[in-house]
Amino acid sequence: MSGNDKKILEQNSHGEFELTAYGEFLSYFHTHIQLFNGLISGKKISPTDQEVLKQKVRSYIVSNIQKTEQFFDHLPKFAEFLGMSQSDLSAFMTKNFMNTHAGIKNKLIEQEKANIGKPKKKDIPAFRKKFWKRSENWFLQVKGLSEWKVM
């Protein structure tokens, strides 16, 4: 599941806000990332190696998991990345997932509620790139005209 334009939050018939399927996927994504990052930070490896491993796990999730229920299917690969047994990782996830997920889910809901009615932010890097390209083209056109007039 991916996409910047997908709805994350919706209001039910009772006026309560709930995560959409995409919002639920995001909450699972961030929960797994937070839990895995905590395990990685506890490893006795250099901070640089920790960051590399965190990025490797994140990239794997982004590339291979599109649905909420797929996280469980990839537990063996996560255990391999984290250098632990599947049973140890499963026990860790069982113990820590619910509380972590509840916190992330609530934070996501509050964040999205705060954004209701606010205009979506433009993709600034893309805007800059487009603006620069237009400016560059304009400059080249003006430069070309001025050189032509001088001749």
Query: In whole angstroms, what is the distance from residue 103 CA to residue 16 CA?
Result: 17
Report the 10 Å Cβ neighbour count for 130. 11
On whether both 84 and 138 belong to a single domain, the answer is no
Alpha carbon 102 to its chain centroid, in Å, reads: 18
Assigned domain for 3 exists:
no
On whether both 105 and 150 belong to a single domain, the answer is no
CB 25 within 8 A of CB 104: no
On whether both 84 and 136 belong to a single domain, the answer is no
On whether both 31 and 100 belong to a single domain, the answer is yes
On whether both 24 and 40 belong to a single domain, the answer is yes
On whether both 71 and 142 belong to a single domain, the answer is no
Backbone angles phi, psi at 19, to 5 degrees: -75, 140
Assigned domain for 56 exists:
yes
- Residue numbers of the domain that contains 147: 122-151
Q: Closest Cα partner for 32 from 103, 77, 97, 108?
A: 97
On whether both 75 and 109 belong to a single domain, the answer is yes
Number of domains in the chain: 2
On whether both 93 and 126 belong to a single domain, the answer is no
Query: In whole angstroms, what is the distance from residue 93 CA to residue 86 CA?
Result: 10
Instruction: Output the tens digit of pLDDT for each of the chain's 151 residues.
Output: 445 568 999 988 998 999 999 999 999 999 999 999 999 999 999 999 999 999 999 999 999 999 999 999 999 999 999 999 999 999 999 999 999 999 999 999 999 999 887 776 655 565 555 555 554 544 444 444 444 444 4
Assigned domain for 1 exists:
no
